[in-house]
Homo-oligomer: A and B are copies of this chain.
């Protein structure tokens, strides 16, 4: 769309979304870039704030606490079962915002496009972003597009930044886990990472496996309504649950004890992990959260989570303990204990 809905000189040509490609000229700031913005981004993301067409979006804010979070997305392949880089870039940043207990309000998106990238793929990605943003009711209000030469990028990278408003009385932070607290997860672990790995390795198992990529804003809103005194929320993306828990343990200066038999893991994920030599605790999730709360709040919180479609398989998987070494440990199915250490090497590159 053009400003004020009028067609101005030079804006009558349509981009070829069937056979066209991203060209360097689409990043020049000139006519071609304006065409790309008008015919693709403005059309897909259309909302009042974006239609201001300034280099910044202006909106009303309220007094209180706000949060801001940013995530660059470089996942490969760009399209995968259960999503694509577009929906992932919306879900990922919304989830980072809501892990503070906040209601997400606005998103910004920066695109780095590689010369030669098919416009048809870009359109599919942008429309998927738009759909994800619309479903979460978090509009994309401002953005930027850059183009780099063929060989200097990899199709498309998307950096999304989100802001949100924290309700009064909610104080969730990764340094608030206390000995005795219960550790919950909202569902099965490792689905995203394994779905991507199977695609990369061209493997398939009997059971179809999809990324769990999803926006957790609604689940979190229900959780903080039930348990305003939630201590910690964290989405276990890169590095999986093990990494997220080690970070929380370090920040809260506590240890953790997990129970292997309580971990919700889909059978095909377990099978794929065995086959690929991966530990599902270290595999990325994109639509799951870890919650840590007082022991007396845990059952009610779990019951609330079970009523939500994105947390049907939620479970209490462990508890916070005193430990000045800040170790995350696990009681195995056979009654032994092992340390669930920080990930030392590279497990799954470019998983998000």
Closest to A282 in B: B30
Do A157 and B112 contact each other (CB < 8 Å), given the known contacts A55-B99, A56-B97, A74-B146? yes
Residues of B within 8 A of A238 (CB): 27-29, 33
**Which single residue of chain B is at the shortest CB-CB distance from A60?**
B65
The CB with the most chain B CB atoms within 10 A, among A54, A99, A141, is that of: A54
Given contacts A30-B343, A68-B108, contact A100 B54 (CB under 8 A): yes
Chain A residues 190-241 with CB under 8 Å of chain B are: 234-235, 237-240
Cβ of A114 to closest chain B Cβ, rounded Å: 9
Among candidates B56, B154, B325, residue contacting A96 with C-beta atoms closer than 8 Å: B56
Q: With both chains docked as a complex, state the minimum distance between the C-beta of A135 and any C-beta of chain B, in angstroms.
A: 21
Assembled-state Cα–Cα distance A344/B32 (Å): 7
**Which of A61, A62, A64 gathers the greatest number of chain B CB atoms within 10 Å?**
A61
Could you tell me the distance between the alpha carbons of A97 and B55 in the complex, rounded to whole angstroms? Answer: 8
Contacts of A165 in B (CB 8 A): 61
* A52 on the B face (CB < 8 A): yes
Does A188 have its Cβ within 8 Å of any Cβ on chain B? no
- Identify which of B29, B53, B234, B240 contacts A174 (C-beta below 8 A): B53
Copies in the complex: 2
Query: How far is B247's CA from A350's CA once the two chains are assembled, in angstroms?
Result: 37
Per-residue B-contact encoding for A98-140, CB less than 8 Å = 1, 0 else: 0110100010111110000000000000000000000000000
A71 at interface by CB-CB < 8 Å: yes
Whether A144 is near chain B, meaning CB under 8 Å from some CB there, is yes
Q: Can you report 30 A-B residue pairs in the complex whose CB atoms are below 8 A from each other? A: A3-B253, A8-B326, A24-B346, A27-B349, A29-B343, A32-B344, A34-B247, A34-B342, A53-B251, A54-B99, A54-B174, A56-B96, A56-B100, A57-B68, A58-B65, A58-B173, A59-B65, A60-B66, A61-B64, A63-B63, A68-B141, A69-B142, A72-B146, A72-B159, A74-B146, A74-B152, A112-B112, A112-B157, A146-B157, A149-B350
Chain A residues packing against B (C-beta within 8 Å)? 2-4, 6, 8-10, 23-25, 27-34, 52-74, 96-97, 99-100, 102, 106, 108-112, 141-149, 151-154, 157, 159, 161, 163-166, 173-175, 234-235, 237-240, 243, 247, 250-251, 253, 284, 325-326, 342-350
